[in-house]
Amino acid sequence: MMKKTLIILLLTVVPMYGRAQAVVITESGGWLESAFVKWEPVETADSYHVYYSGEGITDQLIDDQLIRGYGSYFRADIPGLKAGSYTMTVVPLTEGVEGEGSQTGAITVEAHDRSGFAFSNSRVPGAYKADGTPKSGAVILYITENSKNTISLEVTGANANPCVGLQTILEGFKKGDDNRPLIVRLVGQVTDLDYMDKGDIVIENSNNASGFITFEGIGDDAVADGWGIRVKNASTIEIRNIGLMNCDSEEGDNIGLQQNNEYIWVHHCDFFYGHAGSDADQLKGDGALDAKTSGYVTISYNHFWDSGKSNLLGNGIEDPEYLTYHHNWYDHSDSRHPRVRSHSVHVYNNYYDGNSKYGVGSTNASSVFVEGNYFRNCKYPMLISMQGSDVFDEDLQVNDYVNLPTFSKEDGGIIKACNNFMTGQQRFVAYGANGFPDSKIDFDAYVVSGRDELIGDTVLSFQGSNTYNNFDTNEGIMYSYMADSPLEARDKVMAYAGRVYGGDFHWTFNNAVDDPSYDVDASLKAALVAYQTSLVSVQGDSTGNGSVDPGDPSDTATVVDSADMVHNFTLSGTSNTFFSISGNLSDSKGTVSYAGLTLTQCLKIESATLIACTTQEEAVLTLVFNEGFSGVIKINGTDHYITDGILTLTIPAGYYEITKGDVANLYYMSIAYASPDDTTPVPVVEWSDLTLYPNPVSDYLHIATDAAIQGIEVYGITGVLVQQTGANSRIVDMSMLNAGTYLVRVKSDEGIQLRKVFVK
């Protein structure tokens, strides 16, 4: 039989490899749960492969879109790494053939600081695990200037599928019916999309506690140019490593946590000027990062560049919510660092660097714990509305409650301050300070000698008579963390705040001029408006679809597979370009083991179910149902009998419709065009330039050859066809196969070759 011949021939197969000019690596390094490598262009290379090894991973091939060209150099970044030591290997490809690779030295990757209220109650926001690697089943989308409007994905619960365009895909997750972790990766400078929501990209998931979304930038130059990010009715969301500039959305914020959000983590972003708003205080944009009716939020390691209004927190009177602001760089930004209404907020280890108005502001019965911050030339480090420095007239040395409130006429809250460093401030009055006779009434903060000190209910805000709620000493509320000293915090912030290694936009402020100024810096504004990425190309950049994360071969996700005539409902849902599939899926009908696959999702064969396809020549149709199932399926209206869960049928060329006979569950199907008679030996002809890599493989197997490929088939060791591609395809998705040995049959205009491949 044919399958026996294939296995025998397997023993004689010897792979052949081509060579190309070697790679010269110019720079490499590790960052927070990511690593990068740069290299000089190889004149003979058409493209590159980049592999990484470390922490239990060996020669893992990264996604093409992580490899970018910048004219004089190439760069690849790898996000989603756990802390540890790694190496990266860059290999040039010439006409699909791998050449001589070059490897970096050891690269040290550090862990992110996952501190703050966003991680309360054992929650980990976003689509990455606590160790930094993607959560199981994560789907990854790459958004470039080319793909932003055409990227597509099948989303459970969407109004229509496939969802096309980034905002449409995110709207598919709005109902919270799709529990797959979603990673959206921004690559390069991305301008306004064709379809947005009032000029924003909006993230929602109906507060689905089982849904996780990360919106992140790749490398040091990911930029959202002209549009904002708005989060609403959402849970377990992460936004990181993005530069936001020139935002002119209707809402006006670079990032806005608009309403009803929980367990949100925004970190390592660069916030630049937006376009001027309509109000006099919006010349630098409406706001940088505001949060309204949102709780269990962490804002950390962000860089605010001369923002006018950095962090408004709350919009009116709301129930207390818990938020953390730590290790942010308020770099010559004016005010709201944050401005707090109602909520309970921990503000620690931030660097206040030349702030022309004020640092932290407390209103409307809020309780704010301000700890371990470094204030350099911040005019008023802390303010409570309608008292202390907020209303003090420096010239007349009196309080002016009518004309001088610096930031609000609302009722006050209480600020608890501990271990902060201040230099160059205009005024700060601690509760009970000597030399200020009314300081127990008219103060900016209650200063304690240790963080565990309680504030009694006799300490009241001047307006509203509000007290401090001591949330920070309540073990049932407060999280575990380790605060740096103010000096350590300043240095850490300057090293880590903002995008990878500080991002690709550099600016030096003139402290003598910029510290006291809250005007727009005309030169900085012009530089941002004129910003243009130096990115030239993104490898594999197209209108592609979501991909399974390559970091964990056991992860699976519903991914559009347009390559072939083999369909696995567990992997691909109802998406396939050879088969037209309509009907309902289920993951509760049992598990089926077939040809090295573990199948957990099926298409329910019901009255409304229809599968259609057209074959070009005689073929073998295989349908796989529940193990042991016997029943009837209709093919073009004719009954065909299923025995022990499998139907195998030879069909002539033509159009076919598969419909319900008996109620059944279909897990897998394939069409294999007939080969020569099974009793005839397979004609195997060697051609010298065929290369299959990587081997062992965990996700995508690449086929390199000068020959014109007519088709590729993958067989289990028992001879069962488990994967198949059409003509001209040179990539085979192996990610859904269980670990083991497989036979790959490559047919070209030069003949047929067989190769043994190991799936790990």
Which residues are identified as catalytic?
336
- 592, 594, 617: which is closest to 721 by C-alpha? 594
Token readout for 538 is 């993104």
Query: What is the rounded distance in angstroms from the CA atom of residue 466 to the CA atom of residue 384?
Result: 11
Using the Cα atoms of residue 152, residue 158, residue 161 and residue 164 in order, give the sign of their dihedral: negative
HEC-encoded secondary structure of 35-56:
EEEEECCCCCCCEEEEEEEECC
Strand spans (E) along 600-730: 602-605, 610-615, 619-625, 631-635, 638-642, 646-651, 654-660, 664-673, 691-693, 700-704, 709-716, 721-725
Token readout for 299 is 């804002």
One-letter amino acid at 514 equals: D
Residues 6+ apart with CB under 8 A from 402: none
Token readout for 569 is 């409902």
Q: Residue 294, Cα to own-chain centre: how many angstroms? A: 21
Strand spans (E) along 272-363: 287-291, 294-300, 303-305, 312-313, 322-326, 329-331, 339-341, 344-348, 351-363
Taking CA atoms, 21 is separated from 45, 91, 95, 202, 536, in Å, by: 8, 9, 13, 46, 22
Give bridge partners of residue 746 from the DSSP assignment.
712, 753
Residues 6+ apart with CB under 8 A from 697: 734, 757, 758, 759, 760
Nearest 5°: CA angle at 86, between 83 and 88?
135
Are residues 375 and 353 in contact, defined by beta-carbon separation less than 8 angstroms? no
Are residues 196 and 151 in contact, defined by beta-carbon separation less than 8 angstroms? no
User: Burial, 278: exposed, middle or buried (Cβ in 10 Å; 0-12, 13-18, 19+)?
Assistant: exposed
Token readout for 281 is 């205080």
Query: What is the rounded distance in angstroms from the CA atom of residue 203 to the CA atom of residue 499?
Result: 21
CA within 13 Å, CB half, 237: 33
User: Burial, 397: exposed, middle or buried (Cβ in 10 Å; 0-12, 13-18, 19+)?
Assistant: exposed
Query: What is the rounded distance in angstroms from the CA atom of residue 553 to the CA atom of residue 129?
Result: 16
Q: What are phi and psi of 5, to 5 degrees?
A: -60, -40
Query: What is the rounded distance in angstroms from the CA atom of residue 636 to the CA atom of residue 652?
Result: 12
Token readout for 195 is 């379809």
Token readout for 547 is 């991909």
Q: Is the bond leading into 162 cis (omega within 30 degrees of zero)?
A: yes
Token readout for 502 is 């500080």
Scored b (16 or more CB within 10 A) or e, 538-572 reads: bbebeebbbbbbbbbbebbbbbbbebbbbbbbbbb
Three-state SS at 501? helix
Query: What is the rounded distance in angstroms from the CA atom of residue 600 to the CA atom of residue 302?
Result: 42
Give bridge partners of residue 497 from the DSSP assignment.
none
